[in-house]
Chains A and B, each alone.
Chain A
Amino acid sequence: MAKDKNNKRFLLDFEKPLEELYNKLEEMKKLAESGQIDLKHDLAMMEKRIESTRKEIFAKLSPIEIVRVARHMQRPTTLDYIGYIFEDFVELHGDRNFADDRALVAGLARLGNQSVIVMGHQKGKTTKENIDRNFGMANPEGYRKALRIMRIAERYEKPIISFIDTPGAYPGIGAEERGQAEAIAKNLREMAELTVPFISIVTGEGGSGGALGIGMGNRVLMMEFSIYSVISPEGCASILFRDAKRANDAAVAMKITAKDLLELKVIDEIIKEPAGAAHADPQQAAANIKEAIVKNMEPLMGLSHRELIADRYNKFRKMGVFEEG
């Protein structure tokens, strides 16, 4: 279970049944430490009970509860995953035009024996970090940096892996003036034509155009408790239902969970999260992601430039549901 600096647990309200069990467990541990009675058996029982309760809770999360998990302050970030999954990471900075965007990180890395390019939105885990990272909301220079570095991958024939975790592209005056729309649009067109294997993974929040702006992989994967949507449930509620409090209904209606999106064939695969979600065991979550990357990259590595472009084009060309005739 994720804990903060003061060793306090972060429990979301639907995890409340766990709190009591945890407290009991700690009491028992103290008792056991005092050495008066042997509680080994009872402790094991209690741990089992916590495990099964946790499983039960996470097996039936509602969409809005999944949103809360996806946005969890302790959820592993892109740099966390990069640290666990890759070796020899060298972060690269700047769009060569205006600035370096700290809300989107990118660089050189190695996956096993293979040199790769990795990139992703970067959130913080504390308010201070989040301000530094602009809450993972990239400006145009972030998207331009991403494209610049994708071009390096292309020039040197290295595969690309992108991690998606953003509330959305930043809505600010400067972002508009410097062409947020153009930066994203250009990335979409250019990503479609990349000549190297490209895998995108939604690890937390897949917020609209800001997510898609680095998300046009040959394969798009999603973590079990991540979300991907055209607008935040709150935004949808306030615009369409004219009541921001109906985010719950919006989250259900828009179909934003990994399970829903697999059914809609917008994503290719769901990456399992450890018990209690990724923040409960970041290392295990990263191991699961690594396994999924390796598995999905393998068939792509054998494809020619032409085949890779066709594969990606056909994937996105097919998207859409309509009637005809």
Chain B
Amino acid sequence: MTSTLSIHNWFKRRQKAKEPQNPRDRLDIPGGLWVKCYKCSQPLFSKDLEDNLKVCPKCAYHFKLTSSERIVQLADQESFKEINTTIRSTDFLKFTDSKPYAKRITATIAKSKLNDAIATGICKMENQLVALGIMDFSFMGGSMGSVVGEKIARLIEEAIIKKCPVIIFSSSGGARMQEGIMSLMQMAKTSAALGRLRENGLPYISVLTDPTTGGTSASFAMLGDINIAEPNALICFAGPRVIEQTIRQKLPPGFQRSEYLLDHGMIDIVVNRKELKSTLVKTLRWFANGKR
């Protein structure tokens, strides 16, 4: 709030705490004991929030998760074996926006301790072998560049070798512009790889989390045999701002959120995070059941 005591401020809506871009910064408030829900402003004891899978107990707001948090929530203990951990983005275009892409990569890796915007590996979920990919929005907005595309393609190829299903959690702002056309080509690469998976008769479950937009939604995220979304996730091709600028109209309420997409037939099911693992396990079991 502004400090000036103007009468206008009396009528201004009190601003809600805004969710920081990087989920790692989110719960690291001094002391780290209390957090305010970004949606309903309810003060939450952070331990309670963690125990509740980072879903607000009052309003069911889903806080963003890092890939490692997801792995803990989903994979059988110690079962996740990460693959392709040494592959790294490179600044092949010598691209500089507010800082050189090369420096941005190094800084983001150092800060996030991730090698790029997706962790991929083989794990077990209730004893069922799965090739699991989890995008991390905290790494440059989960943007898809050559490394994300390559890791997804290799994950799918690994699943074909191991004859197991693929689950990919998307959380991404879209293509990584710093890699220019190469980021666009990752859409072709990942989609083609999923075609191969299908040819091999192996299932793919796509889990769309907040946000899944642009080049990510227009490729592997929308191609699941089953598309599952977390509640209230922004899922779209063109972002709301772009659309508003283009058509100069107000957007309908709930537009491009999971429930809206469900209504329009774009996803199979919206699942609260607390039921997510059991839903995935049930689905995996359905696929694993022998052919008639």
Q: Chain A: residues with CB nearer than 8 A to chain B?
A: 169, 171-173, 175-182, 184-186, 188-190, 192-193, 208-209, 212-213, 216, 228-231, 236, 239-242, 253-256, 261, 264, 266, 312-313, 316-317, 319-325
Q: List 26 A-B contacts (CB under 8 A).
A: A171-B242, A171-B243, A173-B249, A176-B243, A180-B237, A181-B237, A184-B187, A184-B237, A185-B218, A209-B187, A209-B214, A209-B215, A209-B237, A230-B179, A231-B175, A240-B98, A241-B98, A254-B181, A256-B180, A264-B182, A266-B185, A317-B189, A319-B146, A320-B145, A321-B182, A324-B86
Alpha-carbon distance A239/B97, docked complex (angstroms):
10
Binds A, one of B10-18, B25-33, B69-77, B192-200: B192-200
Alpha-carbon distance A188/B194, docked complex (angstroms):
10
Q: Is B96 an interface residue (CB 8 A)?
A: yes
Q: How many residues of B contact A (CB 8 A)?
A: 64
Taking CB as reference atom, which chain B residue is nearest A237? B97
Asked if B181 and A228 make an inter-chain contact with CB atoms under 8 angstroms apart, the answer reads yes
Q: Is B285 an interface residue (CB 8 A)?
A: no
| Contact pattern, B 75-117, Cβ under 8 Å of A = 1, otherwise 0 | 0000000000011111011011110000000000000000000
| Contact pattern, B 207-229, Cβ under 8 Å of A = 1, otherwise 0 | 00000001101111111000000
Q: Is B44 an interface residue (CB 8 A)?
A: no
Q: Is B40 an interface residue (CB 8 A)?
A: no
Asked if A322 and B87 make an inter-chain contact with CB atoms under 8 angstroms apart, the answer reads yes
Asked if A316 and B181 make an inter-chain contact with CB atoms under 8 angstroms apart, the answer reads no
B182 to chain A minimum Cβ distance, whole angstroms, is 6
Q: Which residues of B sit under 8 angstroms from A181, Cβ to Cβ?
A: 217-218, 221-222, 235-237
Asked if B186 and A319 make an inter-chain contact with CB atoms under 8 angstroms apart, the answer reads yes
Q: Name 7 extra pairs, CB < 8 A, besides A209-B184, A320-B189.
A: A175-B237, A179-B264, A179-B265, A180-B238, A188-B191, A254-B177, A322-B90
Alpha-carbon distance A175/B243, docked complex (angstroms):
10
Asked if B255 and A230 make an inter-chain contact with CB atoms under 8 angstroms apart, the answer reads no
Asked if A230 and B181 make an inter-chain contact with CB atoms under 8 angstroms apart, the answer reads yes
- Take A188-B219, A192-B195 as given contacts and tell me if A316 and B242 are in contact as well, using a CB distance cutoff of 8 Å: no
B227 to chain A minimum Cβ distance, whole angstroms, is 9
Q: Which residues of B sit under 8 angstroms from A216, Cβ to Cβ?
A: 188, 192
Asked if A185 and B177 make an inter-chain contact with CB atoms under 8 angstroms apart, the answer reads no
Alpha-carbon distance A250/B162, docked complex (angstroms):
43
Alpha-carbon distance A178/B95, docked complex (angstroms):
35
- Take A239-B177, A264-B181, A317-B189 as given contacts and tell me if A176 and B255 are in contact as well, using a CB distance cutoff of 8 Å: yes
Asked if A177 and B264 make an inter-chain contact with CB atoms under 8 angstroms apart, the answer reads yes
Asked if B187 and A212 make an inter-chain contact with CB atoms under 8 angstroms apart, the answer reads yes
A78 to chain B minimum Cβ distance, whole angstroms, is 21
Asked if B88 and A176 make an inter-chain contact with CB atoms under 8 angstroms apart, the answer reads no
Alpha-carbon distance A240/B206, docked complex (angstroms):
29
- Take A185-B222, A230-B181 as given contacts and tell me if A192 and B87 are in contact as well, using a CB distance cutoff of 8 Å: no
Asked if B92 and A321 make an inter-chain contact with CB atoms under 8 angstroms apart, the answer reads yes
Asked if B192 and A192 make an inter-chain contact with CB atoms under 8 angstroms apart, the answer reads yes
Q: Which residues of B sit under 8 angstroms from A229, Cβ to Cβ?
A: 180-181, 184
Q: Which residues of A sit under 8 angstroms from B120, Cβ to Cβ?
A: none
Q: Which residues of A sit under 8 angstroms from B194, Cβ to Cβ?
A: 189
Alpha-carbon distance A261/B181, docked complex (angstroms):
8
Q: Which residues of A sit under 8 angstroms from B187, Cβ to Cβ?
A: 184-185, 188, 209, 212
- From B87, B88, B193, B246, give the contact of A171 (CB < 8 A): B246
Interface-central residue, A178, A236, A316, A325, by most chain B CB under 10 Å: A316
Asked if B88 and A323 make an inter-chain contact with CB atoms under 8 angstroms apart, the answer reads yes
Taking CB as reference atom, which chain A residue is nearest B246? A171
Alpha-carbon distance A188/B255, docked complex (angstroms):
25
Alpha-carbon distance A229/B22, docked complex (angstroms):
28
Q: Which residues of A sit under 8 angstroms from B255, Cβ to Cβ?
A: 173, 176
Q: Which residues of A sit under 8 angstroms from B89, Cβ to Cβ?
A: 322-323
Taking CB as reference atom, which chain B residue is nearest A178? B264
Q: Is B269 an interface residue (CB 8 A)?
A: no
Q: Which residues of B sit under 8 angstroms from A185, Cβ to Cβ?
A: 187, 191, 217-223
- Take A173-B243, A188-B188 as given contacts and tell me if A323 and B87 are in contact as well, using a CB distance cutoff of 8 Å: yes
Taking CB as reference atom, which chain A residue is nearest B93? A255
Alpha-carbon distance A169/B194, docked complex (angstroms):
22
Q: Which residues of A sit under 8 angstroms from B191, Cβ to Cβ?
A: 185, 188-189, 192
Alpha-carbon distance A190/B188, docked complex (angstroms):
10
Alpha-carbon distance A181/B224, docked complex (angstroms):
13
Q: Is B153 an interface residue (CB 8 A)?
A: yes
Asked if A255 and B181 make an inter-chain contact with CB atoms under 8 angstroms apart, the answer reads yes
Q: Which residues of B sit under 8 angstroms from A173, Cβ to Cβ?
A: 243, 247, 249, 251-252, 255
- Take A190-B195, A209-B218 as given contacts and tell me if A319 and B237 are in contact as well, using a CB distance cutoff of 8 Å: no
B241 to chain A minimum Cβ distance, whole angstroms, is 10
- From B87, B217, B265, give the contact of A324 (CB < 8 A): B87
A49 to chain B minimum Cβ distance, whole angstroms, is 38
- From B193, B196, B223, give the contact of A186 (CB < 8 A): B223
- From A169, A230, A312, give the contact of B184 (CB < 8 A): A230
Asked if A325 and B237 make an inter-chain contact with CB atoms under 8 angstroms apart, the answer reads no
Q: Is B150 an interface residue (CB 8 A)?
A: yes
Q: Which residues of B sit under 8 angstroms from A319, Cβ to Cβ?
A: 146, 149, 182, 185-186, 188-189
Alpha-carbon distance A176/B220, docked complex (angstroms):
17
Q: Which residues of A sit under 8 angstroms from B222, Cβ to Cβ?
A: 179, 181-182, 185-186
Q: Which residues of A sit under 8 angstroms from B183, Cβ to Cβ?
A: 230
Taking CB as reference atom, which chain A residue is nearest B236? A176
Interface-central residue, A169, A185, A236, by most chain B CB under 10 Å: A185
Taking CB as reference atom, which chain A residue is nearest B181? A266
A202 to chain B minimum Cβ distance, whole angstroms, is 11
Q: Which residues of B sit under 8 angstroms from A253, Cβ to Cβ?
A: 93, 95-97, 180
